[in-house]
Structure formats: structure tokens, C-alpha cells
Amino acid sequence: MKHIYLFLFSMFSIGIYAQEHAWVYLADKPDSATALANPISILTQKALDRKAAHNVTVDFRDVPVDESYISAIKSQTGITVVSKSKWFNAVHVLGTQTNINALSAVMVNGNSIVSTIDFADSSLNARPAQNQNKHDFEASLTDFTYGNTSNQVTMIGVDHLHQNINNYTGTGMTVAVIDAGFPNVETMNGFQRLRDANGIAGGYDFVDRNSNVYAYTGNSHGTWVLSDMAGFIQDQFVGTAPDATYYLFRTEDAATETPLEESLWVEAAERADSLGVDVINSSLGYTTFDNSNYSYTPAQMDGNTAYITKGANIAFEKGILVVNSAGNSGSGSWQIVGAPADASGVFSIGAVQANGTYASFSSRGSNAQPTQKPDVVAQGQASYVINTNDAVTTLNGTSFSAPILAGGIVCLWQALPNKTNAEIMQLVRESASQYTTPDFFLGYGIPDLSLALAEGLSLDEFNTQNTTLKLYPNPVVNQLTVEIPSQFEEVSIKIYDVLGKKVIDTKVNAINKKINTSVLSKGVYLIKIEAEGLSITKKIIKK
């Protein structure tokens, strides 16, 4: 069964299963040594730069699948190759069980090229199945006037990043949106600002194998999702990363639910990696399929089983931050987070109502999953989107809480470019409302990205210092004490609010070391302590 996570409806289709789905894993890549010696031949310079910045090595998985191997498999009786993966060194094929099993004997230049074969129908495998999964749509000083989006933006504190003196709105960051098609994005007024800035870098329809991602294919889900990150209507609607650059990839066939969609998702993730993408947003999930023989069980949502889950974990290893909707199965029989959101390397986003309370449809975590799921939550009930008619409307689903937060994370990473994907994820978790008491409903809770930014900047500055310094109490009420290192007679103290405005400018020494903070409003501030040879920035909280 496929779930289009609008929570408004679900689709069930019955097909005729004349052919089987299988993943054929290949034995090697004959030209891998040559390719790895000249990585610019297989990756863009942006991809290489991103990997270098985050200490991610170019490895065997970056080398494309050997085309002679693919040709040899395509030439076999009754076999159709529908997808390929360089990360897995595998192809996804359709054919009868007999014809697929016969691929084990395929040779190129006298050498066997097939390592293993995994059928999507695990009962056809001679050994334990290598996982299949099910995907669902998860839909159940810039001066912005946020209009309808005000609540969903301010709930996670991304407005403070937008309005920061450095204008963290996604500039310079690249996002891949993997979804079900993006009808009318090329003409809608809601994306005019994005198009004027050349913010759409390209796209590809992996289902129909063409570049027309704007064609209507029976569903407008991708357009809605994109609007929550990149949409803009003056004084009415502001996406959470309006100035990022986007690639649009269609991997979801809304009419059917088959294991092929997992493979297409992995293909898109590989393409994203090759293009140097920083963040993937995916509002898709997989648990059960139209053909029940291919379906997963809840126990298999263990972060390691589904093909798409394993692919998502590789994307994480490659330095990409993958944000995925948790699913809309919370009030149904399935209930728990599906693939690829079950992956430890995926930042899984649940949904809350506008008032911050749990949305009953949002999929829950379970003890079967290796890490806390969901990770965090954002507004997913009555989320505002721009529809294909350029109208602002509301929809329900983790399909929308995911891009709302993904855009915010893009802005946070823009502000903290030296952080790794794992470090950004952890900063967001630590900023969330119930970080010390997570549960299976809200995960770590609702994040505050202004807190995450303050903590990230604090760590960046403080870790560069080899000195002793004490600030207390923190949180502070009326008086902050600053004890400075003994080698300094006096230091300069400047305190800034989260918008970058200086609110206190003073000096302290060993005798006069107290600062009056009673004049400050409640919230998060940055305190910058400077002297010759000393520069430290720390976060303080005013209660």
C-alpha cells in the first residue's frame, strides 16, 4: 500500500504481477582505479569541494557502474534494466524469476560479473532477503513579512536566522528535493523570486527518464513540498530557505507502489552527491507495496534493512544531510516511522499542530530503530503551502513539517559552514524542547534554530581559545559574572541579541566583573569577550 502523506487520502492499487523486481549486485568496477586517480572525471568540482570541506573521501562507491556490465545484462533474455546504483554497484531489473536467476551466469571478457541477486519478493531468495521497502508521500537582515507562514516559521526560530545581520536565508547552499513531480513550478508566481535568482539549477524525472519535472503526472505533491522551502508571495508567504539553490528530482510514481521507487530514490541521491548537494529533502516513505510479497514488516524498520534506508545511510556517509518525513501512520495500524526515515543517518521529522502539540497522524518511533525516532518535529497539521493555482492553502502531513524544517537547517548550515552534517543534526537536536526527555511521539521535540546557531557559534569561537574563562550564572536573571584569565587586566564585553544587534557594550576586570542584565528581555544572546590575543563568543540565556 502506498501512502500519500497528505493524511487527506491514501491510494491503493492492484496490479498484475507478470514480472519480478530484483536487485542485481555486480562483482566489481574494472576502471575504478583510473577513475579514483582522476576524481574530476566522475564528480563535479562542487562535489569534490564539499567532500574536502567535510573530510569525506572519494571512494569506490563514487565510481559509476561499468556500462559494459549493464549492456551485458540488458542483452539477456526477458530482462529489463530499469535503474542503476553506483553506490551499491547494482542494477534494478524486471523479469521472470527464471530469467533473473540466469543472470548469475553472465560473463564479460571471460569473467563473471554478478555477485548476488536479491528479489524484492523475499520468498524467492535462496538466502535471507537483502531488504526491500515501501515508500509513502508524507503529506497527511532580510525584512520578510511572513503572513500565513508566520507560525510555522517562528515555531522553529528560523525567522531569527533570516533576520540576522548576515541574512541567513540559504544563499550558497544547494538542496535536492526528491519527490513526485513539480507541476507548474516553472510558471507559478509563487516561485517567481526563485526563478529570477536562477535558484532552480536543474532536475530530472527518473520515472519517465526525461528532464521535464514540471509535467503533471497525477500528483502535485512535489510542488507543495518545494513551496515550504522556496516559495515566496509578498507579505503572504515565505519559505524557510527562499534563497537556496534547488535540484528537483522525481522518483515517485503516484499511480503505483513498487520497489523500483526505492532504486530511483537511490539514483537521485547519487546524482545529488555528484552535483555537490548539501541537503536532501524527501517527503517519501516506504513500508508496504501493491504486491504484498514485496512489503516490509514493522520489525524491518530497523535502520538497516530497506534498500532505500541503506542508500540514505550512504548519502549521510558522503556528507549529505538527509531530511525525511517520518510518515503519517501514527493513527493507523502501521504506526511507526517507515523507510528511509528509520535510518540512523537520516534526520526524521514528525508533525505537531499549530499550538505545538502532537499531531495524531504523525508516525512514531519504536525500539526497533537504532536511534531516536522521530528526531524532531515541526508544524505538519494545517501547514501552509502554495498550490499549483498559486493559492495559499493548508494541508496536513509530515510531508510539510519535513521541508519546513529542512529549509531552516539549510539556513543554519549556511551560518555554520565548517560544521559536518552530523554536527548540524546534533545542534538541532540539542536546541529542541524536550532534548533531555525524548519520546516516540515528538522525538527531541520542537527545535529552536536560533539556539542552535548561538550554540554553534559559541563552540566555534570557544574551541579556538586555550584559556580559562568563567561565565555564571547561565541562564542569568539580573547579574552576570565574568571571571577573566589572570593574564588580562581588562577585557571588552559586547552582548548581541539573535538578530545581531548590540545591546550591551562594557568592560570588566578582576575587581569589577559583574554585568547588569536586568535590562535584557528574556531570550538567547551572544556575549563576545575580547582583549589582545583573546576573542571568545559564548551563548547566554536570559530568564
CB 323, CB 402: distance < 8 Å: yes
Q: Which of 62, 66, 136, 179 is catalytic?
A: 179
Q: Which of 399, 401, 431, 450 is catalytic?
A: 399
Give the C-alpha separation, 349 to 446, whole Å. 10
State whether residue 378 is helix, strand or coil: strand
Residue 422, C-beta contacts closer than 8 angstroms, at least 6 positions apart: 316
Active site residue 162: no
Active site residue 399: yes
Cell numbers for 368: 526497533
Instruction: Name the residue among 25, 267, 279, 289 with its Cα closest to residue 172.
Output: 279
Which ranges in 4-118 belong to alpha helices (H)?
32-37, 45-53, 67-74, 97-101
Q: Which of 3, 92, 135, 221 is catalytic?
A: 221
Give the C-alpha separation, 512 to 503, whole Å. 19
Which ranges in 198-357 belong to alpha helices (H)?
221-230, 260-274, 307-317
Length of the chain: 543
CB 303, CB 345: distance < 8 Å: no
Give the C-alpha separation, 534 to 300, whole Å. 53
Q: Bridge partners of 250? A: 179, 205
| Run of H or E including 42 | none
Instruction: Name the residue among 317, 406, 279 with its Cα closest to residue 51.
Output: 317
Q: Bridge partners of 509? A: 490
Residue 543, C-beta contacts closer than 8 angstroms, at least 6 positions apart: 475, 476, 477, 522
Active site residue 83: no
CA separation, residue 159 to residues 89, 169, 449 (Å): 42, 9, 9
CB 499, CB 482: distance < 8 Å: no
> How would you list the strands of the sheet with 80-85, edge to edge?
80-85, 90-95, 20-26, 114-119
Residues recognised as catalytic:
179, 221, 399
